[in-house]
């Protein structure tokens, strides 16, 4: 998908597009975890085990990326969420790029957008977790300056934990 412009905006976590996107994300990563297609019951169980209730302002946000062509906003290409877990630390969750949008730079754009949202919520650091089999995610996080940190949760679906300090953008010098 070269030449695509992505528009990433907050989306209510209970909107039809958000629900469909999160279910697609869980379907894919659960399928990779099980080595077979995930059932609807397994997707429901995963969502119940890690609910998204907190992804509402002012302490959380869920965002969808949609392609933008010829002045129209179109298909969902991915998602990302940010949740403040302490007064200064945010957790990035639900980073996912749909198969049709991969290799377009959207993963990096989603993480960068999440970092900016975390800064806007008052975070000075971000953290996230991922699994062994999600090698693409681990490569992306390393390229973006994330370093492995001590485990911060006991999720059965986490094998690696990453963190990164956030640095606010410097204001443009005035002339």
The structure's pTM equals: 0.90
Q: Is the dihedral of CA 112, 118, 124, 130 positive or negative?
A: negative
State the DSSP code for 111: H
Q: In the beta sheet, which residues pair with residue 80?
A: 63
Task: Write out the chain's pLDDT in tens, 175 residues.
Answer: 456 789 999 999 999 999 999 999 999 999 998 999 999 999 999 999 888 989 999 999 999 999 987 665 679 999 999 999 999 999 999 999 999 999 999 999 999 999 999 999 999 999 999 999 999 999 999 999 999 999 999 988 899 999 999 988 766 666 5
Dist. CA 153–CA 109, nearest whole Å? 26
Closest CA to 90 of 51, 116, 53, 52: 116
Closest CA to 113 of 9, 5, 1: 9
Closest CA to 46 of 34, 35, 58: 34
């Amino acid at each position: 998908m070269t030449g695509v412009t992505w528009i990433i905006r907050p989306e209510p976590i209970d909107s039809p597009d958000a629900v469909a996107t999160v279910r697609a994300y869980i379907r894919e990563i659960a399928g990779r975890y099980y080595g077979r297609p995930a059932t609807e019951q397994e997707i429901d169980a995963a969502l119940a085990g890690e609910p998204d209730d907190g992804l509402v302002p002012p302490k959380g946000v869920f965002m969808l990326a949609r392609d933008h062509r010829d002045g129209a906003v179109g298909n969902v290409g991915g998602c990302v969420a940010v949740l403040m877990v302490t007064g200064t630390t945010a957790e990035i969750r639900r980073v996912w790029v749909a198969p049709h949008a991969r290799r377009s730079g959207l993963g990096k754009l989603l993480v960068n957008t999440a970092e900016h949202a975390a800064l806007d919520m008052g975070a000075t650091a971000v953290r996230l977790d991922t699994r062994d089999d999600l090698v693409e995610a681990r490569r992306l996080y390393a390229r973006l300056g994330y370093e492995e940190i001590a485990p911060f949760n006991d999720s059965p679906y986490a094998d690696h934990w990453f963190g990164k300090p956030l640095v606010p953008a410097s204001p443009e010098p005035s002339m």
